[in-house]
């Protein structure tokens, strides 16, 4: 197999807080191949967004400490890049769609200004950056996300648009210049269910049409299964299980994954969802050993002492658990 576009290795990210360091990411490993669609699943607060924002280096730098790890983009570590190289990644390599479309658009500039600025400061050539061409590119991107009358939308302010429209605009901004990898951070969570579905379909269609890779962050296994080829399950800053989407549902191995699957209400078979008892741990004082052990139904003494590494089960299926 060819080399991955993005390869995150043993990534540790800590936040400085008044109570000390919040050790949020605790050795994340994740990779994406060209054209591959990957899901990143986990409950709220498990570090999905932190991982992905590290890729673009858009975490508040004064508060973030990265004691260990690499984020390799075509073999080059994003964490070590200078501003010029970083700009290259941001404008031609990776782009991101945020969870809250209302918060991701600047309220005091028109949609047109914001999209054209993305083009204006991208890596395109001078010739391509002529005024008419910029406008054409922007309009084209807006029509690509199925918005009628791009001209009028360009002159609107974000607060004049509905939530679904705003999210489409965000998608348009993310694809307006060519990118290899699109990171979508729960793009549907803030939207109505029907609109959510439209946005997901739109995303998948665009990614496939343009041959981009996709990392889809979601807390819903159902969405991940529908949208992606391979799924990473994350718990408290660790990847606990990786598998092809089908495999993960057919033979989930990690107790946390099992819990997640059980917590999905099923149409067949009665009863309420089981769910997982407890909460995500305090990152200031995370539990030693496997971070899941305080909540794990199958925990043994070893889980408190030692941290399990991802173990290969074949066919790309990996699990970090001693009990497998």
Partner 1 sequence: MDINTQTAFDVNIPSASTRYKEALRKNWYKFSRNKLSVVGLVIVLAVIVVAVFAPYVAPYPKHAGSFVDYQHANLAPSLTYLLGTDNIGRDILSRIFFAFRGALYMAVLVLVISLPVGVILGLLAGYFKGTWIDTIIMRTTDIFLAVPPLILALAISAVLKPNLTNAMIAVTVMWWPWYTRLVYGMATSLRNEYFVTAAELIGASKFHILFREILPNCLSPIFTKMALDVGWVILLGAALSFVGLGEQPPTPALGQMVSDGSRYMPDLWWMTIFPSLAIIIIILGFNLLGDGIRDMLAKGEHDRG
Partner 2 sequence: MNLRAYILKRLFLSIFVLIGLSIVIFIIARVVPGDPARMALGPRAPQYAVDQLRQEMNLDQPLPTQYYYWVKGVLVGDLGKSLTTKRAVADDVKEFLPATLELAFIAAIFVVIFSIILGTLAAKYRNKWVDTVIRVMAYTGVAVPAFVLAVLFLLLFGYIWPVIPVLGRLSPEIMPPPTITGLITVDSLITGDLSAFWDALKHLILPALALAMGPLFQEARIVRSAMTDNMSKDYLAAAVGYGIPSSVIMRKYLLKPSLIPAVSVMGLDIASLMGNAFLVEVIFNWPGISRYGMEAMLRKDLNAISAVIIVFGVIFVLVNIIVDLIVAYLDPRIRLGGKV
Report the residue number, 93 or 286, with the smaller CB distance to partner 1: 286
Figure out which of the listed residues 19, 67, 275, 297 binds partner 1, where binding follows CB under 8 A: 19
For residue 292, state whether it binds partner 2 (rule: CB under 8 A). Answer: no
CB environment 104-127: b (16+ within 10 A), e (fewer): bbeeeebbbebbbebbeebebeee
45 binds, among partner 2, partner 1, none (CB under 5 to 8 A by kind): partner 1
Residue 58 binds to partner 1 (criterion: CB under 8 A): no
Question: What is the full DSSP assignment across 236-262?
Answer: TTEEEEEEEHHHHHHS--SHHHHHHHH
Binding of partner 1 by 22 (CB under 8 A): yes
Parallel, antiparallel or unpaired: strands 64-73 and 6-17:
antiparallel
CB of 216 to partner 2, least distance (A): 17
Q: Minimum Å distance from CB 85 to partner 2?
A: 12
Rounded distance, CA 78 to CA 80, Å? 5
**Near partner 1 by CB under 8 A: residue from 128, 192, 208, 282:** 282
Q: Which stretch binds partner 1 (CB under 8 A): 18-26, 193-201, 238-246, 312-320?
A: 18-26
Contact 235, 255 (CB under 8 A): no
- Total residues belonging to the chain: 324
Q: Report whether 156 contacts 111 (CB < 8 A).
A: yes
* Helix 163-175 × helix 111-120 angle, to 10°: 10
The answer to the question of residue 117 lying near partner 2 (CB under 8 A) is yes
What gap in Å lies between CA 205 and CA 236, rounded to an integer?
32
The yes or no reply on residue 197 touching partner 2 (CB under 8 A) is: no
Q: How far is the CB of 91 from partner 2 (least distance, A)?
A: 4
Query: Closer to partner 1 at the Cβ: 183 or 319?
Result: 183
User: Residues in the site for partner 2, rule: CB under 8 A?
Assistant: 53, 56, 58, 60, 62, 87, 90-91, 95-96, 98, 100, 103-110, 114, 117-118, 121-123, 152, 156-157, 159-162, 170, 173-174
């Amino acid at each position: 197999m060819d080399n991955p576009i993005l390869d995150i290795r043993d990534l540790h990210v800590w936040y400085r807080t008044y109570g000390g360091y919040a050790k949020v990411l605790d050795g994340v490993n994740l990779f994406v191949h060209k054209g591959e669609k990957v899901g990143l699943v986990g409950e709220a607060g498990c570090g999905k967004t932190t991982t992905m924002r590290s890729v673009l280096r858009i975490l508040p730098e004064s508060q973030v400490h990265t004691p260990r790890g690499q984020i390799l983009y075509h073999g080059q570590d994003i964490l070590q890049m200078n501003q010029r190289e970083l700009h290259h990644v941001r404008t031609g390599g990776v782009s991101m769609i945020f969870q809250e479309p209302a918060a991701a658009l600047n309220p005091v500039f028109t949609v047109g200004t914001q999209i054209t600025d993305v083009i204006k400061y991208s890596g395109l050539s001078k010739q391509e950056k002529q005024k008419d061409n910029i406008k054409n590119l922007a309009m084209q991107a807006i029509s690509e996300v199925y918005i009628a009358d791009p001209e009028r939308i360009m002159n609107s302010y974000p607060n004049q648009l509905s939530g679904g429209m705003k999210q489409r605009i965000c998608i348009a901004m993310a694809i307006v210049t060519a990118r290899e990898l699109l990171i979508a951070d729960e793009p549907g969570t803030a939207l109505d269910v029907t609109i959510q579905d439209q946005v997901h379909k739109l995303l998948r269609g665009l990614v496939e049409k343009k041959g981009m890779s996709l990392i889809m962050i979601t807390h819903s296994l159902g969405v991940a299964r529908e949208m992606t080829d391979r799924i990473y399950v994350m718990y408290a800053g660790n990847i606990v299980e990786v598998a092809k989407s089908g495999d993960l549902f057919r033979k989930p191995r990690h107790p946390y994954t099992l819990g997640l699957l059980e917590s999905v209400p099923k149409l067949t078979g009665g009863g309420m969802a089981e769910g997982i008892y407890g909460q995500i741990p305090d990152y200031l004082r995370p539990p030693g050993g496997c971070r899941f052990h305080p909540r794990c139904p199958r925990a043994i003494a070893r889980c408190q002492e030692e941290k399990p590494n991802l173990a290969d089960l074949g066919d790309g299926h990996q699990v970090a658990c001693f009990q497998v």
